[in-house]
Amino acid sequence: MSISDTKDEAGATPPKPAYPEHLARESPYPPGVRRVPVDRYFRPEYHELEVERIWKRCWQWVCRAEEIPEVGDHMLYEVADLSFIVVRTAPDEIKAYPNACLHRGRRLCDHPGKRAEEFRCMFHGWAWNIDGTMKDMACGWDFPGTRDEVSRLPECKVGVWSGFVFINPDPDAEPLSDFLGELPDHFEGAGHDLGQRWKQVHVCAELPVNWKVVQEAFLEAWHTNITHPQMVRSPEHAYATGTRWDAFGNWMRLASALPTDKHRSAGPGWGVIAESEQQALNYYYDWHDQEAAAIRLQPGQKTGEITSKAQRAAVGQALGQGADAYHDAHMHSGEMLMLFPNFHPWGGFSRIVYRFRPRGNDPERSLMDILLMAPWPNDRPRPPPAPVHYLTVDQPITDAVELGYLARVFGQDLGNVRAVQDGLKMLRRGYVICSSENEAPVRMFHDLYDKWMGFEDGDHLSRASPANGAAGR
């Protein structure tokens, strides 16, 4: 990270971390209200088109590189009814294949595994080496003239960014680096490498809602007012005017409190203001009113002082050294990022990464992945990445106690999404409305969605009246 110059080379004045340059980059999304047809949240026709035009064509995060550290280690990535094998074929090479035997189409691989030497179909025994070349065409004599067409497993495109392995099933897709655009710059500019983080927590919750419904519950912060009323804002920050969004091609970023920010909210701010600094501190740590606060603020002391120090201490402890090199902006981690269609790597030291995807071919069933990526020293081997903790559709998110306070927050969010899924079908006018500013990321998502789905000239699958602006803005 860049450190601002110090005037005193003798060290009397310690260098202060510079404000991260990446956070100063602004690219506000054009204003305007957006009407989104509700059909896309539950009608099978949309799901089928999404499979063809998004899930078979878009770059998608599938796993972490350290989850398949040795040659032959492999994961399965599943989205909708698609399944892909992601395998390390060499110390510096990862490949991905559609998970199907080229003989009769059985899934070629049933489970993730370690150090595989081949993928052998458990139906009739055809086998391919992990590099995709044919190994054993059992009874090949009985398939005259077909060897060439089964000699190699079809490949997906693969790319890796900061330890996150992406695949794109489309062999003609643009390189991952082009799709990401300047996203990596924003993390390099943050001065810490997501590639060096430890995957400390990985929860995957199955939900009875469309993947876009649940994703959109995590695409804006405005809902905090009503959905998370315990997340009170310190009176010190009562002046804040909310959040701002910037768009950078296929991804977008929420940031708050930018000192360079000229793009102020058009309206009054929002957020529940705490009745005291002590209440703000207590609720920040989920200390309720009937238990003694672990920290008593002194007169005049502000919540932010305590939380900044605590966050800095936690980062410093995790890194095995101090965190003095980092600006407060990294500590408060007010950056939420979203890469189309479904990947949310938050900035700073928040640790949060989300992914949302359809589960099977039911448009009202989805999977939400939640990762916490802990800082870890560069010079120490990382612990094994956390295995996935799956939650069935009937399990409460609070069963994932490793999420800490976040589990209880998610319990509030997920209390909404089922009600949204139900309510969408009751909207006679056939669309929902997204606001100009606070819901800009939802608008942007649907603009990108329309582009990938081929709806630039209108959502031709929608039953909403054009007069109502089915896909109107």
Partner 1 sequence: MTGRNPPPLRSYRHGAFKTTYAQQPDGTVLVTHDDGREGRFHVDGRHIEGDLTQANRHMLYFAGGPALPDACRYRWGEVPVDLDRPSGWPEEQERALPHQLG
Residue count, binding to partner 1 (CB under 8 A): 62
- For residue 324, the minimal CB distance to partner 1 (Å) is 17
The DSSP symbol for 198 reads E
Side-chain-side CA neighbours of residue 199 (13 Å): 23
Q: Of 129 and 230, which has the nearer Cβ to partner 1?
A: 230
Q: What are phi and psi of 197, to 5 degrees?
A: -70, 160
392's tokens: 């069935």
Could you tell me which residues come within 8 angstroms of residue 362 by beta carbon, excluding any fewer than 6 positions away? none
Q: Which residues of 79-97 are buried (b: 16+ CB within 10 A; e: fewer)?
A: bbebbbbbbbbeeeebbbb
- Does position 403 interact with partner 1 (CB under 8 A)? The reply is yes
Edge-to-edge strand list for the sheet holding 157-161: 60-64, 164-168, 157-161
- Does position 386 interact with partner 1 (CB under 8 A)? The reply is yes
Q: Of 386 and 470, which has the nearer Cβ to partner 1?
A: 386
- For residue 239, the minimal CB distance to partner 1 (Å) is 17
Site for partner 1 in 294-323 (CB under 8 A): 294, 310-311, 314-315, 317-318, 320
- Does position 119 interact with partner 1 (CB under 8 A)? The reply is no
Whether cis (ω within 30° of 0) applies to the bond prior to 341 is yes
Radius of gyration of the chain (CA): 24
- For residue 130, the minimal CB distance to partner 1 (Å) is 24
Site for partner 1 in 278-297 (CB under 8 A): 279, 283-292, 294
Please select the residue that binds partner 1; options are 38, 130, 221, 232, rule is CB under 8 A. 232
Stretch touching partner 1 by CB under 8 A, among 31-39, 210-218, 250-258, 368-376: 368-376
CA dihedral 85, 89, 92, 93 (to 10 degrees): -50
- For residue 330, the minimal CB distance to partner 1 (Å) is 10
- Does position 198 interact with partner 1 (CB under 8 A)? The reply is yes
The DSSP symbol for 240 reads -
- Does position 69 interact with partner 1 (CB under 8 A)? The reply is no
> Are 281 and 306 within 8 A, CB to CB?
yes
- Does position 30 interact with partner 1 (CB under 8 A)? The reply is no
Place of tokens 């938050």: 346
Residues forming the site for partner 1 (CB under 8 A): 198, 200-201, 226-230, 232, 272-275, 279, 283-292, 294, 310-311, 314-315, 317-318, 320, 331, 333, 349-352, 372, 374-377, 380, 382-383, 386-387, 389, 396, 398, 401-408, 411-412, 415
